[in-house]
Amino acid sequence: MNFPAIITDKKMKRALSDEQIADFVRGAADGSVPDYQLAALLMAIRLNGMDARETTTLTLEMAKSGDMLHPDVGGIPVDKHSTGGVGDTTTLVLVPLCAACGAKIAKMSGRGLGHTGGTVDKMESIGMKTDLPEEDFLRQIREIGCAVTGQSAELAPADKTLYALRDTTSTVDSLPLIASSIMSKKLASGAQGIVLDVKVGSGAIMPTYEGSLELARAMVEIGTRAGRHVSALLTGMDEPLGSHVGNRLEVKEAIDILRGESAGPLLTVSLRLGAQLLIASGIADTPEAGEALLEKALADGSGLEKLRQMIAAQGGDASVCDHPEVLAEAPVVRDVAAPCAGYIAHMDTAKLGYASQELGAGRKRKTDAIDPRVGFIMRCRVGDHLAAGAPLCTVYAAKEADFEKAQAMILDAITLSDTPAEKEKLLYALVTAEGVKTL
């Protein structure tokens, strides 16, 4: 293998052959190519892109770089993935609801990094195990219909190497690298139905609608070529999706929703995504039929009961389903007040995510420990009118100095205006193998 020649080809904007891509992935997986050469090729890909054939080949080779699972779960194994955001707790809402409707959810999730939260961290904040052995993972799905675990070391190992390099070489925002990273893990995990939540807005990895749509189309095409049922929803991230931001706080909001005590955009998106999972599972024929089934599971409490079963099965404290209020406790609990009267005109969602990180709810480095208690609850959304001194949010902090830092960041992230502001768009489009449907 002449790796400098591979770098040169992509540097000169030439398409890489399937053999060159296979050599690239193999070198990342087995360590035979040094990091500095891998990083050089990643930057060349970031600058010059990949065509559809290259991206699909890269994804398939990354999936094959480790174990390829063929899960026997007593039905069609389905999975959902979000491109990341703030207050995005859809997994903990839709997974139990879909399982209550008979779906078999084999969910692979990750940890938070940067301004985005991670489902694994949320689960661990209530004592759940997230490193399930494959046998236990599959048995749990067969028995209760759902399990959520972190990615095993044997699954798409090339992605682990390349993801770490992307994070440190400013190549995270490359469409072919994002698409191949996400889809390689989903293909390797054996999911036959895959639903993608592609975020749009200030808190998204692709802030513009055009960029998010291109990413969604690429991932749907990759999955379809691999013989999987794939759909993607483009949803808004110009403000936190849920009102709760922070690990235990987000678990609390999911439980509040499943208890029928809360609603709003988080539930709306969860139902839309869940309906697509039921379609991929062969349980519903249309989104409307899928949402009706999910709403029934919400109303009769079977979704909450399924969450209780999943928490208990994975070693967590299932009593939080009966007493979610215990999840909203921290040494310092204080409001951030609106500095003046006005309409909430804009939120910089990434800045709000970084405020949560500063409190200790997220990581600046992968090795950082998180504080599961901290975060904040938003008391307003874009378009709302507030009086001077009214709470923008309530902060849960470990100490007063952390509150002061987060307060400054939150005030900087929220723009108030004298004139009325429109609500942010929540649902943009549905992308399937058949095409794009504007919502």
Instruction: Tell me which of 23, 88, 121, 159 is the catalytic residue.
Output: 159
Instruction: Tell me which of 80, 111, 160, 166 is the catalytic residue.
Output: 166
What backbone torsions phi and psi does residue 148 show, to the nearest 5 degrees? -125, 125
Residue 69's pLDDT band (boundaries 50, 70, 90)? confident
Which residue, chain included where needed, has tokens 């139902």? Answer: 271
When mean pLDDT is compared across 153-162, 242-251, 271-280, 350-359, the lowest value belongs to 153-162
- pLDDT (0 to 100) of residue 339: 96
Q: What is the DSSP string of 411-427?
A: HHHEEEESS--PPPP-E
Instruction: Tell me which of 181, 189, 243, 356 is the catalytic residue.
Output: 181
Residue among 178, 216, 274, 194 at smallest CA distance from 438: 216
Using alpha carbons only, give the angle 195, 188, 6 rounded to the nearest 5 degrees. Answer: 105
Q: Is 185 a catalytic residue?
A: yes
Residue among 149, 123, 124 at smallest CA distance from 136: 149
Give the separation between CA 121 and CA 248, rounded to whole angstroms.
Answer: 9
Q: What is the length of the chain? A: 439
Q: Is 159 a catalytic residue?
A: yes
What backbone torsions phi and psi does residue 103 show, to the nearest 5 degrees? -75, 160
- pLDDT (0 to 100) of residue 117: 67
Q: Is 11 a catalytic residue?
A: no
Instruction: Tell me which of 64, 80, 160, 185 is the catalytic residue.
Output: 185
Q: Is 323 a catalytic residue?
A: no
pLDDT in tens, 224-246: 988 999 999 999 999 999 999 99
pTM value is 0.91
Q: What is the DSSP string of 124-139?
A: HTTT------HHHHHH
Instruction: Tell me which of 10, 46, 81, 334 is the catalytic residue.
Output: 81
